[in-house]
């Protein structure tokens, strides 16, 4: 009986001590907050990299105090860095998995060059990076490897790390498994739209030649756009080759954009002339052909306008994968989705 009491007492004491300890531990950051800043800095200077980064999450004050610059000053001395430092992102101080931590090519001069893929994507530099450094991304090497290469998916920009679902060697057109079906769907839609566009181009030219021989504002643009359609087709085919193999000094997408804009503008006079004469023509001949030709001209105009917008977005370096960026608001996502749609309407880069 007495032994049991002692046991119970001991248990109670242990629980009380633990709870006091827990309370002390919980109020620790607060206590650190209360002492003068110089002393706080002295305490912080004894923390390791992981705990310094963790301190950032305690409150807004430490978030402002513990910046990447502060961490760099703490752990890089005379050009030599604490080896732990390389596992933390230089931009957000997060510690992602090794497969998501890349070497920042822009920080070649600094020994601490780790950038999490999330921050890299948020900067929107994927297309620029691909142009300057190719389709691969250098990961922060761990262990004995000198360098580890990963490839961003060409459809969503997600990093395909070695050992993941993608082959370790960098393929020409990398895509990760969930995106392959989407790419196939988008490609088929693009081909179908391309065929439809060709058919509409033919129909527009035939409509202009068969019924509007005496109307120069329809006949001439119709003929001109028929010729330009073939030029555009050749340029699109050439663009695909040019982008992959050759480095030509003409800015990519400038030629197709100029061509498509010209065709959009050239389709305007037939559209206006046809619409203007629609009512009198129907009244006199009871023929539905003017309505049909107006629809064909309007469809041609719409197609070429959408193409122009898509090529303009490509020209201004919009990355269709930006719709997959993390932390987008609903409005931003919608806007990017619209831009991505316009790009894929014109071309699949």
Positions that interact with Zn ion (CB under 5 A): 89, 91-92, 116, 119, 153, 155-156, 158, 176, 179
Nearer to Zn ion, 158 or 212 (CB): 158
Which CB atom, from 104 or from 260, has the smaller least distance to Zn ion? 104
- Of 174 and 252, CB closest to Zn ion: 174
HSE at residue 52, side-chain half, CA atoms within 13 A, is: 27
The smaller minimum CB distance to Zn ion, of residues 170 and 262, is found at 170
Shortest distance in whole angstroms from residue 148 CB to Zn ion: 18
Query: Of 195, 263, 257, whose CA–CA distance to 229 is shortest?
Result: 263
SS3 content of the chain, % helix, strand, coil (to 5): 65, 5, 30
Check if the beta carbon of residue 294 is closer than 8 Å to that of residue 275: yes
Comparing CB distances to Zn ion, the nearer of 153 and 200 is: 153
Q: What are phi and psi of 137, to 5 degrees?
A: -125, 135
Count of Cβ atoms closer than 10 Å to residue 189 Cβ: 13
Of the candidates 268, 271, 263, the one whose C-alpha atom is nearest the C-alpha of residue 307 is 263
Phi, psi of 204 (to 5 degrees): -60, -45
Shortest gap between Cβ of 177 and Zn ion (angstroms)? 8
CB of 75 to Zn ion, least distance (A): 17
Q: Of 76 and 91, which has the nearer Cβ to Zn ion? A: 91
Compute how many other C-beta atoms are within 10 angstroms of the C-beta atom of residue 215: 16
Closest CB to Zn ion among residues 47, 156:
156
Q: How far is the CB of 119 from Zn ion (least distance, A)?
A: 3
As measured in angstroms, the least distance from the Cβ of 324 to Zn ion is: 8
Q: How far is the CB of 341 from Zn ion (least distance, A)?
A: 17
CB-based burial label for 349 (10 Å; 0-12, 13-18, 19+):
middle
Cβ atoms of 66 and 88 within 8 Å: the answer is no
Closest-CA residue to 300 (of 199, 166, 209): 199
Contact yes or no for 141/131 (Cβ under 8 A): no
Backbone φ and ψ of 148, nearest 5°: -120, 130
Min CB(332)–Zn ion separation in Å = 19
* Residue with Cβ nearer Zn ion (229 or 323): 323
Cα 245 to Cα 224: distance, rounded to the nearest angstrom: 31
Residue number with CB closer to Zn ion (160 or 266): 160
If 0-12 CB within 10 Å is exposed, 13-18 middle and 19+ buried, where does residue 134 land? exposed
Q: Write down the least CB distance from residue 88 to Zn ion, Å.
A: 9
Q: For residue 137, what are the β-bridge partners?
A: 150
Residue 145 CB, nearest distance to Zn ion (Å)? 22
């Amino acid at each position: 009986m007495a032994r049991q009491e002692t046991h119970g007492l001991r248990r109670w004491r242990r629980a009380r001590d633990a709870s006091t300890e827990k309370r002390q531990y919980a109020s620790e950051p607060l206590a650190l907050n209360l002492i003068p800043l110089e002393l706080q800095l002295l305490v912080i200077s004894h923390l390791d990299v992981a705990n310094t980064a963790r301190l950032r999450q305690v409150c807004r004050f430490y978030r402002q105090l513990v910046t990447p610059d502060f961490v760099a000053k703490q752990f890089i001395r005379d050009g030599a860095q604490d080896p732990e430092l390389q596992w933390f992102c230089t931009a957000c101080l997060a510690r992602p998995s090794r497969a998501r931590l890349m070497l920042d090519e822009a920080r070649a001069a600094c020994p601490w060059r780790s950038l999490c893929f999330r921050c890299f994507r948020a900067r929107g530099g994927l297309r620029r990076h691909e142009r300057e450094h190719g389709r691969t991304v250098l990961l922060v090497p761990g262990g004995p490897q000198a360098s580890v290469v990963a490839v961003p998916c060409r459809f969503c920009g997600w990093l395909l790390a070695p050992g993941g679902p993608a082959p370790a060697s960098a393929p020409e057109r990398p895509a990760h498994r969930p995106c392959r079906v989407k790419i196939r769907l988008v490609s088929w839609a693009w081909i179908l739209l391309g065929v439809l566009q060709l058919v509409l181009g033919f129909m527009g030219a035939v409509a202009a030649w068969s019924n509007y021989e005496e109307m120069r504002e329809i006949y001439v643009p119709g003929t001109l756009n028929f010729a330009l359609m073939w030029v555009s087709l050749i340029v699109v085919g050439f663009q695909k080759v040019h982008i992959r193999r050759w480095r030509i000094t003409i800015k990519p997408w400038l030629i197709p954009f100029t061509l498509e804009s010209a065709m959009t503008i050239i389709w305007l006079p037939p559209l206006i002339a046809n619409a203007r004469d629609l009512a009198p023509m129907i009244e006199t001949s009871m023929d539905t052909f003017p309505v049909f030709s107006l629809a064909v001209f309007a469809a041609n105009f719409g197609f070429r306008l959408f193409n122009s917008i898509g090529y303009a977005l490509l020209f201004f370096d919009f990355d269709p994968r930006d719709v997959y960026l993390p932390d987008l608001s609903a409005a931003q996502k919608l806007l990017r989705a619209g831009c991505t749609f316009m790009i894929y309407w014109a071309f699949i880069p």
